[in-house]
Amino acid sequence: MSTDEIRKFVLSALTEMNYSVAGVDDDTPLGPAGVDLESLALAELGIRVEEEFGIVFEEDEAERLGTMTVGEFTAALAERLASAPAAGQ
Protein backbone atom coordinates (compact mmCIF):
# COMPACT_ATOMS: atom_id res chain seq x y z
CA MET A 1 0.00 0.00 0.00
CA SER A 2 1.37 3.40 -0.95
CA THR A 3 1.97 6.32 1.39
CA ASP A 4 -0.63 8.30 -0.56
CA GLU A 5 -3.25 5.61 0.07
CA ILE A 6 -2.41 5.56 3.76
CA ARG A 7 -2.57 9.37 3.95
CA LYS A 8 -5.95 9.30 2.19
CA PHE A 9 -7.25 6.79 4.78
CA VAL A 10 -5.95 8.91 7.69
CA LEU A 11 -7.55 12.08 6.33
CA SER A 12 -10.80 10.22 5.64
CA ALA A 13 -10.80 8.82 9.19
CA LEU A 14 -10.25 12.31 10.61
CA THR A 15 -13.15 13.63 8.52
CA GLU A 16 -15.41 10.80 9.77
CA MET A 17 -14.37 11.75 13.30
CA ASN A 18 -15.65 15.30 12.58
CA TYR A 19 -12.25 16.98 12.35
CA SER A 20 -11.62 19.49 9.61
CA VAL A 21 -8.84 18.46 7.25
CA ALA A 22 -8.92 21.73 5.28
CA GLY A 23 -5.33 22.90 4.99
CA VAL A 24 -3.95 19.73 6.62
CA ASP A 25 -0.71 18.54 5.04
CA ASP A 26 2.24 16.33 6.01
CA ASP A 27 3.64 19.03 8.32
CA THR A 28 0.42 19.42 10.32
CA PRO A 29 0.73 18.05 13.87
CA LEU A 30 -1.93 15.54 14.93
CA GLY A 31 -2.06 17.09 18.40
CA PRO A 32 -2.26 20.70 19.61
CA ALA A 33 -1.60 23.50 17.11
CA GLY A 34 -2.55 21.16 14.29
CA VAL A 35 -5.48 18.80 13.86
CA ASP A 36 -5.87 19.18 17.66
CA LEU A 37 -6.68 15.57 18.46
CA GLU A 38 -7.08 14.93 22.17
CA SER A 39 -6.27 11.61 23.84
CA LEU A 40 -9.64 9.98 23.14
CA ALA A 41 -9.54 11.04 19.49
CA LEU A 42 -5.95 9.76 19.18
CA ALA A 43 -7.12 6.44 20.61
CA GLU A 44 -10.00 6.33 18.13
CA LEU A 45 -7.63 7.04 15.23
CA GLY A 46 -5.36 4.27 16.49
CA ILE A 47 -8.30 1.85 16.63
CA ARG A 48 -9.37 2.77 13.09
CA VAL A 49 -5.81 2.15 11.84
CA GLU A 50 -5.68 -1.18 13.70
CA GLU A 51 -8.98 -2.26 12.14
CA GLU A 52 -8.03 -1.13 8.63
CA PHE A 53 -4.41 -2.27 8.47
CA GLY A 54 -4.02 -4.77 11.31
CA ILE A 55 -1.32 -2.64 12.94
CA VAL A 56 -1.42 -2.83 16.72
CA PHE A 57 0.03 0.05 18.73
CA GLU A 58 1.77 -0.55 22.03
CA GLU A 59 0.75 1.83 24.83
CA ASP A 60 3.94 3.92 24.57
CA GLU A 61 3.48 4.21 20.79
CA ALA A 62 -0.11 5.36 21.19
CA GLU A 63 1.03 8.11 23.55
CA ARG A 64 3.50 9.40 20.92
CA LEU A 65 0.82 9.78 18.24
CA GLY A 66 -0.08 13.23 19.54
CA THR A 67 3.48 14.44 18.98
CA MET A 68 3.61 13.29 15.35
CA THR A 69 2.74 15.20 12.22
CA VAL A 70 0.37 13.73 9.66
CA GLY A 71 3.39 12.95 7.46
CA GLU A 72 5.32 11.26 10.28
CA PHE A 73 2.28 9.18 11.22
CA THR A 74 1.69 8.18 7.59
CA ALA A 75 5.37 7.27 7.12
CA ALA A 76 5.37 5.23 10.34
CA LEU A 77 2.30 3.30 9.17
CA ALA A 78 3.86 2.69 5.75
CA GLU A 79 7.04 1.40 7.40
CA ARG A 80 5.09 -0.91 9.71
CA LEU A 81 3.04 -2.25 6.79
CA ALA A 82 6.15 -2.82 4.69
CA SER A 83 7.85 -4.77 7.47
CA ALA A 84 4.76 -6.83 8.39
CA PRO A 85 4.64 -10.41 7.12
CA ALA A 86 2.33 -10.81 4.14
CA ALA A 87 -1.11 -12.08 5.06
CA GLY A 88 -1.47 -15.82 4.81
CA GLN A 89 2.24 -16.56 4.95
Helical axes 3-16 vs 70-83, angle rounded to 10°: 120
Closest CA to 55 of 63, 45, 64: 45
What are the distances in angstroms from CA 48 to CA 4, 22, 23, 68?
A: 17, 21, 22, 17
- CATH number for the region 3-77 comes to 1.10.1200
Please say whether the beta carbons of 70 and 10 come within 8 A.
yes
Task: Name the 3-class secondary structure at 69.
Answer: strand
Q: pLDDT (tens digit, 9 = 90+) per residue, 6-27?
A: 999 999 999 999 999 999 999 9
Residue ranges of domains in the chain: 3-77
Entry pTM? 0.86
Reported as a single tens digit per residue, the pLDDT across 47-59 is 999 999 998 888 7
